Every structure is written in structure tokens, then in C-alpha cells.
Structure 1
Amino acid sequence: MPPTRRPSPGSAMLHPLTLAAVALLVLNDHVLKAQWPSWWTGKLSDVAGLAMFPLLLQGLWEHLGARGREDFEPSRAVLHGCVLLTGLCFSAIQVSELAGDGWRWGLGLLQWLPRAMWALLTDAPRLPRVLPVAHVADAGDLLALPALWVALKVGGQRCAPRAAPNAGAPSSAPA
């Protein structure tokens, strides 16, 4: 068997399924929704986002924790925490008006940062305002939650295999 390459911090974001989810999210949000707005294009973004976002969180956590250490190992507990946090937050913004408003303004603030930087670089007369993004709470979006399975599978492939029960126990079978 060829030697396996050790995963690096955030390397789950480079998995083909993760890259496909990011590409689908961008394509859907910037092209498909504008050309063919429908129930399906709304769900596509949810599925793509749920498939990749826990891995983005995991990658950020890994980069903050690894800081060039040679003994880096991805953590299954961190992966599970990122998947759980993503699922809970996604669910909350779909069923709670308060959580949905937090999402709208939080994402609006994130989008404001590059716009403000651009305004400063181009000597714009004033900085742009922070504006909330559009969001419609829809409990039907919870149908996309199984997409978290993709993040669990992709992220789990990087983690050390779990020891099987009795893996170190001597075998009683005759040789």
C-alpha cells in the first residue's frame, strides 16, 4: 500500500465534493436564482451550503489550532461540533424570526467589509451602509439537513480511523 499523505489544516475544503458544493452555491446564488427563481434553486443553495459550511468551520478551527505544528491531526470531535453547530444555526434561522434577523444582518456586515475596503481604495466620497441580506424563513428548508452527511463523510475521511472494539485483544481462533 502506498504511504498515505497526512492531512493538512483545512484540507477538507479541497475535496472534490466540497469544491463542487462551493461551485454550486456560487453558481446557484449568482446565476440560477436570477434566471430561474424557484423552490428548487432555493433548496440547491441550502444543500450546497450545508455540505460545505461545516468543513469551512473545521478548516478555520484547524488553522487557528495548528499554527505550523508538525503533529497536526484532524479531530473527529471538532468535525462533529462543526456539523452540529451548522445544523442548529441553520435550523434556527429557518424557524425563528430573531435568528433569521441575526443571519440577515451578520451576513450583511460580512458583505459590507469588502465593499468598504473598495470604497477606501477608490477614494469614494463615503463608506457604504451596512445592509441586511434578503432572507425568507422557511421550515421547508429543513429538508436540506441531510446534506450535512456530506460534510461528515468528507471530514471523517481525514480523521484517524476509530479503533475497533477489542482491536488489541488476542484472537481465540485457531491459526
Structure 2
Amino acid sequence: MSRPDDAAAQPPAVPGDALLHPLVFGAVLVLLLNDHVLKARWPSWWTGKLSDVAGLAMFPLLLQGLWEQVRERRARAFRPSWAVLVASVLLTAACFGAVKLSETAGDGWRWGLGTLQWPARAAWALASGRAVPGVAPVSHVVDPTDLLALPALLIPWWVGRRRCGAPDGPA
């Protein structure tokens, strides 16, 4: 008798569908709630770590989903890639570690995220009848204790592993 989590019992994968897994979707909601409500009302060590855990729980699968979307546009058949999952988890761990340990990497993160947020800030300013702001870096503190959140990478690893099945060939 097959178990419910067998690959045969699951519907066929769709590019980026790992982001809809309840654990991952929940991590996105926690990240948004924490960064936009909890940190403002109760700033603490805990709210900082909660953001790190939630972000690490979803980001590798976001990277994998973006890769899958691009790849699917060029390929006829789609299948989740074990190699892309591994690369996404390792790349997330390496970048997270660099940003938490290096001032230079942290500055790159501050300006990069500030640049990504600018279109939404500009649109909001225009809709509110205000002047369009310039690109501004986000707040960031280099903090080696944030590395305590790295075990959260087990969530995307587990979700992605179940989705990919056995390791495959080159992505």
C-alpha cells in the first residue's frame, strides 16, 4: 500500500508550486506580519530572528520557482530539479551568512533590497500625491547570532526534496 506522500499520490508539479506548500506559505505570512507589524510594536531579538527563520524557510523555494519559470518557457517537459534545489539552498545559506558576517555584503544587501523596494515606494508616493522618493537603503545590522536561524533551511530542503523525488541529472 502506498503512503500519501509518495510521488505517485501527488499531483504533477507545476513551476513554482513549492511556494504554495502550507509551511512555505505560512513562512511568507509570518515574514510579512513580523516585518510590518511585530517589529514596529515589539522590536526585540526575537522579532529579528523570526524574520530570519521565515525568510530562510521560503527563499530557496522562491529561487527554485524563478528558475523553473524561466526553464519551463524554454523546455517542453517540466520536472522539479534536485540540482536546482540543492543550489538554491546552498546559495541562500552562503548569501545569508555573508550578509550577517560582513559589513560589505550587508551594504550590498541594504542597497539591493532598497532598490527592489523603490518601485512600490515610488508608486505609493505618486498615488498619494507626493514627490517620488529616491532609492534608499533598508536598515540592516551585521549580526553573527542571526546564523542561529540557518536550521530553517531544513524546511525548503524537506519540501523541495519531497517534490523532486530522487536526485536527477543536470538541471
TM bucket, shorter chain: 0.7 to 0.9
Match in the other structure for 2:138:
133
Once residues 45 and 124 of structure 2 are traced to their aligned partners in structure 1, the CA distance between those partners, rounded to angstroms, is: 34
1:85 matches 2:91: yes
- Structure 1, unmatched stretches of 5+, are 164-175
**Residue 154 of structure 1, CA deviation:** 0.6
Partner AA of 1:143 in structure 2: L
Match in the other structure for 1:18:
24
**Residue 33 of structure 1, CA deviation:** 0.8
SS in 2 for 1:148: helix
Structure with higher Rg: it is: 1
Match in the other structure for 2:35:
29
1:149 matches 2:154: yes
- Structure 2, unmatched stretches of 5+, are 3-7
Once residues 38 and 125 of structure 1 are traced to their aligned partners in structure 2, the CA distance between those partners, rounded to angstroms, is: 32
TM-score, scaled relative to structure 1: 0.85
Partner AA of 2:10 in structure 1: T
Going from structure 1 to structure 2, the CA distance change for 1:17 and 1:68 (only over 3 Å counts) comes to: farther
What is the number of equivalent residue pairs in this alignment? 162
**Residue 22 of structure 1, CA deviation:** 0.3
Going from structure 1 to structure 2, the CA distance change for 1:162 and 1:87 (only over 3 Å counts) comes to: closer
**Residue 71 of structure 1, CA deviation:** 1.8
Once residues 123 and 28 of structure 1 are traced to their aligned partners in structure 2, the CA distance between those partners, rounded to angstroms, is: 25
Matches within 5 A, 1:1-175: 3-67=9-73, 69=75, 71-119=77-125, 122=127, 124=129, 126-162=131-167
**Residue 116 of structure 1, CA deviation:** 2.5
**Residue 9 of structure 1, CA deviation:** 0.1
Once residues 10 and 74 of structure 2 are traced to their aligned partners in structure 1, the CA distance between those partners, rounded to angstroms, is: 20
Identity of aligned residues (%): 60
Partner AA of 1:140 in structure 2: T
SS in 1 for 2:137: coil
